[in-house]
Structure 1
Amino acid sequence: MVDIDTGRVVAHEALSRASSYGVPVAPDRLLHDAYQSGRADDLDSLFIESALRAAAAQGLLTPHSLFVNVEPISLANGFITAPLLSAPPLVIEITERALTADPGALLTAAAALRAAGHLIAIDDLGAEPASLALLPLLAPEIVKLDMNLIRRQPDRTTAAMMTAVAAYAERSGALVLAEGVETAEHITRARALGASVAQGWHFGKPSETAGDAPGVTVRPSGPGRHSAIRERDSSDVTPFGVVAASTPLRVGDRAMLVQVSILLEERALAAGDSAVLLSTFQSEDNITEATRRRYDRLIESGCLLTAYSTGASAALPHPARSVTVDDADPLAAEWDVVLLTADYAAALTAREIDPSRHREGLYEFVLTTDRDLVTRSAGALLSR
């Protein structure tokens, strides 16, 4: 990995390579077979331990000078190897697909890795549209752009990615790294996308030897980094608690809040597969047939959708997630609609003023488009 301005090597990435009876085995095939046999955790551990041994043998001991990949299933299973937690400070690469597959498990794993002194890099950003909306939730210190963004002709998707990454990097101080750089033209494109560090065959092919490197450096955390993580572990933190602590409450009736909720759903529908929508329903009885029809359309659009309710699960069609909330959870008393897209964020959060007078349908509520508050609200939900 090379500083684009100086041409200096600043870090190395550990690449997984294996062979069978002297014949190389493609990493993708190896991972596929490991997943199929239920041994992906074991393979991940083997790769990590091998990378750490090789780095130590070659003197790569400078903090954050070695990038190591961790598979999504290892994170989802809560599987973080002991060698990784006790290793010198590394940069842990987490693939973009982990961000959309199980955000809650990913946030828990990221917190454990950061506590061990590691930095987090999101890998292949740009392959999954919804990952742009979730980027502030993970709050990675390093953003690795998918190589297709560097190599293909610019289009609206590229422009949207460039805008979203620039906004996140400006707010958080994150370092942007371009992958797959093979030509001088790719370097120009990488600069345009905001990258200051790059990797690829333009700088050299993978090698079994490597010299020590100074490691990557990132600016001190800005207001956009770790915002969703600060209160994530507390079970009594809810979107209402996050937003109402700093925003004046208003009073509205049920009919008005329904229309605001539908408006946010329509914004999510327009954003399609780049939208993340999280909704709470107090009771499953509030999930009407009309609601299900609207949510079916959201699912068809590719929106990353999660519904929270007490009692029976909302039972939304795959790939939407349905989460059952315990009656004792403060979230059970809330009406929340949290929307994140690459360029828009909004949260409606409300509590009934007097549940014993339910027919009156009066609520204290907040509607905010403050991205930091919306991101923290999303984190409060995804931690469940």
Structure 2
Amino acid sequence: MEASTTVIRSVDDVLDARAVTTVFQPVVRLDAWHRKRHETVGYEALTRGPAGTPWEQPLALFAAAAERGRLAELDWICRATAYRTAIDAGLPPGLTLFVNAEPAALGVPCPPDLAPAILDAQLRLRVVTEMTERSIGRDPSALLTAAEACRGSGWGVALDDVGVEPACLAVLPFVHPDVVKLDRHLTQHPGGGYAARVVTAVTAYAERSGAAVLAEGVETPEHLSAALGLGANLGQGWLFGRPGPLPPDVGQRHAAVGVPFVAPPANPGGRTPYEIVSARRPTARATKRMLLPISHSLEARALDAGEPPMLLASLQEARHFTPATARRYAAAAESAALVAAVATELPGEPAPGVRGTAIGGDDPLRGEWNVIVAGPHFAGALVARDLADTGADEDRRFTYAVTYDRDLVLDAARALLHRIVPT
């Protein structure tokens, strides 16, 4: 809470005094609103700095905190303030509280003075943690780890501003959000080929998972019509209410149908991509020379800048990440959502933009060669197990399987991601 005696001369003063406040904007069910029934299912918490200071608006506040190296602390302050304000106002568990979070901040310990508010929220609120798709470009690993941590705590996850970054669409099934928030630009300018690609990918994900789709920036009846046309079932914007205090009667409000949380994807349980795919698909034998064209063909699909995918590979040993491989993977990393490789003695960035993970010589992946590409619509995987032949490298034999079954490819990708993005 902001103390009236606090003198604010710098952003450090704001943070030291925990001098932020929270306003709330309603989230409504669009089909009900379209039928003139106002059904609020939750509220998004929005932070404001001290009024009349240069840090009143959140963008300026967060930018200043980042310059001071205190971004994670500010993130914790904002969330704790939102939780405490909602609890004090009597927000019932039938309504969902949407709260923004920086994925990297979730990996930083909570300041001790804020811990009681966080614990109270876990006991008394139904929270969906919003993470922006822009964090994919900065640190996709932090985004995936944070989403899994939120879900493990029993809270929901929303992916915010979807449609700003094309790479976001490939990450959807791995973040596995309960709510997909369409960026306001799509709501207000719904035409064009790019909007169509976003909508088809989001619709496909929502259909498979049961996730809700929320349109941001609904300010006019025309925007409402556009949001419904985009397939959104929830909405947020000035048409439904501007940010402000929670209503005095919010404790008596209960959503007829709340924001559902989707079932999480199956945990790979320590299995490798080869073990997952070979259990459901027949295998054959071939030499490395025979399998290389398949590998290169899959890797070429990772160059699709229109629908950037994820490219994940396990290459046994670092020596197999050759200069030619490095060039291919670096080219893919220029647009792909994530390009990552696993091998023994592999450096953290074996090529520009490529995330490397070193494994031990006794790791089961040491005996596997896997290339997995998963995009908004395309999914394919080559999984192979080394038969430990001696002789020339390209004559080494593998048992292998190739699959384009999307669900199976995603299961294999999750198994590899658990090595690349430890939790």
Query: Normalized against structure 2, the TM-score is what?
Result: 0.82
Distance 1:117 1:298, change over 3 A: closer
1:240 aligns with 2:278: no
Is 1:18 the counterpart of 2:49? The answer is yes
SS in 2 for 1:10: strand
Paired residue type of 2:293: Q
1:116 equivalent to 2:156? Answer: no
Q: Does 1:305 align with 2:345?
A: no
Give the match's secondary structure for 1:110.
helix
For 1:15, what is the secondary structure of its paired residue? strand
Q: Which residue identity is paired with 1:294?
A: R
- 1:144 aligned onto 2:181: yes
Give the number of equivalent residue pairs: 377
Q: CA deviation at 1:109?
A: 2.9
Flag the 1:171–1:153 CA change in 2: closer, same or farther, 3 A.
closer
1:336/1:348 contact within 8 Å kept: yes
State which of 352, 374, 384 in structure 2 corresponds to 1:318.
352
Aligned partner of 2:258 among 205, 217, 222: 217
Contact persistence 2:178–2:261 (CA under 8 A): no
Q: Distance in 2 between matches of 1:97 and 1:173?
A: 23
Structure 1 Cα separation of the partners of residues 147 and 157 of structure 2: 7
Unpaired runs of 5+ residues, structure 2, are: 1-26, 34-38
CA deviation after TM superposition for structure 1 residue 99, in Å? 4.0
- Look up the equivalent residue of 2:187 and give its one-letter code: I
Q: Compute the RMSD of aligned alpha carbons.
A: 2.4
Bigger mean CA offset, 35-44 vs 272-281: 272-281
Aligned residue in 1 for 2:21: none
Moved more, 298-307 or 199-208: 298-307
Matched, 1:382 2:409: no
**Amino acid in the other structure paired with 1:217:** G
Deviations 1:269-288 (A, max 9, x none): 13456221111211111122
Percent of aligned pairs with the same residue? 39
Deviation string 1:90-125 (CA, Å, 9 cap, x unpaired) is 111111123454444433333332233211111111
Counterpart selection for 1:275 from 309, 327, 331: 309
Aligned counterparts of 1:220 and 1:36: Cα–Cα separation in 2: 36
Query: Which residue pairs with 1:368 in the alignment?
Result: 403
Structure 2 counterpart SS, 1:6 = helix
CA drift of 1:24 comes to 5.5
Is 1:90 aligned to 2:127, yes or no? yes
Q: In the TM superposition, what are the counterparts of 1:37-56 in structure 2 within 5 Å? A: 37-56=68-87
Please name the residue that 2:13 is paired with. Answer: none
Q: Does 1:154 align with 2:191?
A: yes
User: Which residue matches 2:92?
Assistant: 61
Q: Structure 1: any 5+ residue segments left out of the alignment?
A: none
Deviation of 1:306 (Å): 1.1
- CA separation of 1:298 and 1:319: change in aligned 2, threshold 3 A: same
SS at match of 1:25: coil
Report the CA distance between 1:301 and its aligned residue.
Answer: 4.4
Q: CA deviation at 1:194?
A: 0.8
Name the CA distance, whole Å, in 1 between partners of 2:163 and 2:412. 24
After TM superposition, the score normalised by the length of structure 1 is: 0.90
Q: Residues 278 and 307 of structure 1 are in contact (CA less than 8 Å); yes or no, is this contact kept in structure 2?
A: yes
After TM superposition, give the deviation of residue 76 of structure 1 in Å.
4.7
For residue 334 of structure 1, what is the aligned residue in structure 2?
Answer: 368
Partners of 2:303 and 2:411 in 1: CA distance: 22
